Amino acid sequence: MVKMISLLMALLVLCTSCQLEKNTQNPIRIQIEIADNLMDSLDTAGRLFLFISENKNSEPRQQLWPMSTEPNHIFARNMNWTKETPLVIQGKESWDRTAPFDLTGIPNGTYSFQVVWDQDDEESRIDAPGNLHSEVYTLEVNDGFTTTALLSQQIPPRRINKHPLVETFRIKSELLSGFRGRDIYYTVSVLLPATFHDQPSRTYPVRYNISGYGGRYTRINRRLEDPDFLKWWMSERAPQVINVYLDGEGPYGDNYHLDSKNNGPYGQMLTKELIPQLEAAYRGKQDPTYRFVDGCSTGGWVSLALQLFYPDMFNGVWSYSPDAITFSDYQLIDIYQDENAFNNEWGNPHPLARDLSGDPIVFMETFIRYENVLAPSGTYINSGGQFSAHNALYSPKGADGLPEPMFDPETGAIDKTVVAHWRQYDLGLLIAENWAELGPKLQDKIYIWMGDMDNFFLNPATRTFANIIQAQTEPTSNAVIEFTPMAGHCDAFGDKVILEQIKDRLSELGI
């Protein structure tokens, strides 16, 4: 009898606990509808994003990274729905999320709320043309909530502002098409020199600009919207150089313009297809002596890598604040020695970004949690974000067809087998192991700038690279590597700055 009473009491306590837990679940109801004029644009398979933001000053769908003191909580899941039938969410579904709470546990308060339907399967990020989104709503949470969101907006196609010196240039890449099994086109924008139309027999040097992370060829619009730049560009002071703004889009984020097992032959596409066709079309000199490459951040890494991997193709690189160019300093992670990407050897979390005083802004694990949620796989490897792109470039292809992750998306544990594959993209190792061949080809061609308070901890890798290249002999490197104290990420970079440097380089060459 005593055992029976004890059992009944235990069951009563258990059931009471279940009831209490059930009672703590706040009732929610979100009804998502589609505007009549967009009904025909709807693809019924996609990934649904709910943005519940504490930041009232900007569109939640544009706050994709955890870089704010006012969090943007993202909930996402792959879904199918039926046209003309509203989608009803009641919080019982399983969601990938950046928040420490689920939909039924949102703290009481006032939020900005927005819905995005990512139905595009051509581009790697959710801002792709054709995707649908709602306006921004105010959401009041008071022990639950009920709301309706209308998908009333569609992201428009990309546009280039009209100007007599600006054109777009598009090729079908046979190399990329063969790799991906379908037609792949690649587009760049071109800013022509002021004399281009008046001197039809003249040929020109060419500058290839690579953007910061994920930048598109449409960034040329920023130059066209800058009256001071345009006035200078049309003056006699500007160098007579063709500017080509490359496109960063790739299947897993930025394509990095190099060959990889996952993205395909982007390096060969650039050097064997795009450059010959473009320079023939726009009267480029079609001579490596007159061909230059530059960029900042991701563009800093890519431009330097292109000069090193294709030393005979370019006659100078201006690399500003490059991504980690040595992987013993992959930001603050030594991928060769460390066991975990989220925590250092003392068990402390790795910061990913800081302000100029050194105060951490965001940590590696938090950043990866965001990339995990953005990805259709629920892991950063196809999020379209920074680490998705790194992993796609540097890693081998996995058995599931996706890039093999260098570190576990949940625990941060580093896979040393994958690390071995990354070595071939470590630019410091590339220099150290191939200097006899590369050294003579790189003289007078390398300029790197780095702020010693780089906001993403990229300066240690550049210091390591500087030590490696400056230690080489036969020949001794004359690479110029400058560090500016207390300067942050890309502080010294600008289109006009680069063009002035190219002008000086052409003068040195007697051109």
- Give the per-residue pLDDT at 113: 97
Residues 174 and 279 grouped into a single domain = yes
Position with higher pLDDT, 342 vs 66 = 342
User: What is the mean pLDDT of the segment spanning 450-458?
Assistant: 98
Position with higher pLDDT, 11 vs 165 = 165
Residues 239 and 296 grouped into a single domain = yes
Q: What is the pLDDT of residues 68-85, one digit of tens each?
A: 788 999 999 999 988 878
- Give the per-residue pLDDT at 25: 66
Q: Which of 15-19, 50-54, 466-470 has the lowest mean pLDDT?
A: 15-19
**13 lies in some domain:** no
Domain with 309 in it: what CATH number?
A: 3.40.50.1820
Q: Is the pLDDT at 3 greater than 70, yes or no?
A: no
The residue range of the domain holding 83 is 26-154
**361 lies in some domain:** yes
- Give the per-residue pLDDT at 70: 87
Q: What is the pLDDT of residues 83-115, one digit of tens each?
A: 878 999 998 889 999 999 999 999 999 999 999
Residues 307 and 453 grouped into a single domain = yes
Q: Is the pLDDT at 205 greater than 70, yes or no?
A: yes
Residues 275 and 363 grouped into a single domain = no
Q: How confident is the model at residue 12 (pLDDT cuts 50, 70, 90)?
A: very low
- Give the per-residue pLDDT at 330: 98
Q: Is the pLDDT at 15 greater than 60, yes or no?
A: no
**436 lies in some domain:** no
- Give the per-residue pLDDT at 64: 85
Final residue in a domain of this structure, among 397, 424, 451: 424
Quote the tokens at residue 87: 């989608």
Contacts with 118 (C-beta within 8 Å, 6 or more apart), sequence order:
46, 47, 48, 49, 126, 128, 131
| Cα(31)–Cα(147) distance, integer angstroms | 6
What is the number of domains present in the chain? 3
Domain with 47 in it: what CATH number?
A: 2.60.40
**16 lies in some domain:** no
Q: How confident is the model at residue 9 (pLDDT cuts 50, 70, 90)?
A: very low
**160 lies in some domain:** no
Q: Is the pLDDT at 20 greater than 60, yes or no?
A: no
Q: What is the pLDDT of residues 365-398, one digit of tens each?
A: 999 999 999 999 999 999 999 999 999 999 999 9
Residues 295 and 180 grouped into a single domain = yes
Q: Which of 50-59, 151-160, 164-173, 478-487 has the lowest mean pLDDT?
A: 50-59
Residues 122 and 192 grouped into a single domain = no
Position 87: which residue type?
L
Residues 406 and 450 grouped into a single domain = no
Q: How confident is the model at residue 23 (pLDDT cuts 50, 70, 90)?
A: very low
In three-state secondary structure terms, 195 is coil
Residues 314 and 413 grouped into a single domain = no
**398 lies in some domain:** yes
- Give the per-residue pLDDT at 476: 97
Q: Is the pLDDT at 65 greater than 90, yes or no?
A: no
How far, in whole angstroms, is CA 295 from its chain's centroid? 14
**433 lies in some domain:** no
Residues 216 and 308 grouped into a single domain = yes
Q: What is the mean pLDDT of the chain?
A: 93
**225 lies in some domain:** yes
Residues 302 and 359 grouped into a single domain = no
Final residue in a domain of this structure, among 398, 424, 450: 424
Q: Is the pLDDT at 5 greater than 50, yes or no?
A: no
User: What is the mean pLDDT of the segment spanning 332-350?
Assistant: 97
Q: What is the pLDDT of residues 396-437, one digit of tens each?
A: 999 999 999 999 999 999 999 999 999 999 999 999 999 999
Q: How confident is the model at residue 58 (pLDDT cuts 50, 70, 90)?
A: confident
User: What is the mean pLDDT of the segment spanning 245-268?
Assistant: 97
Residues 183 and 318 grouped into a single domain = yes
**Residue 264, Ramachandran bin (φ over 0: left; ψ between -120 and 50: alpha; else beta):** left
| Cα(46)–Cα(131) distance, integer angstroms | 10
* Backbone phi and psi for residue 504, each to the nearest 5 degrees, phi listed first: -65, -40
Contacts with 394 (C-beta within 8 Å, 6 or more apart), sequence order:
260, 406, 421, 422, 425
Q: Is the pLDDT at 35 greater than 60, yes or no?
A: yes
Q: Is the pLDDT at 2 greater than 80, yes or no?
A: no
Residues 221 and 322 grouped into a single domain = yes
| Cα(161)–Cα(66) distance, integer angstroms | 32
- Give the per-residue pLDDT at 56: 85
Final residue in a domain of this structure, among 154, 179, 209: 154
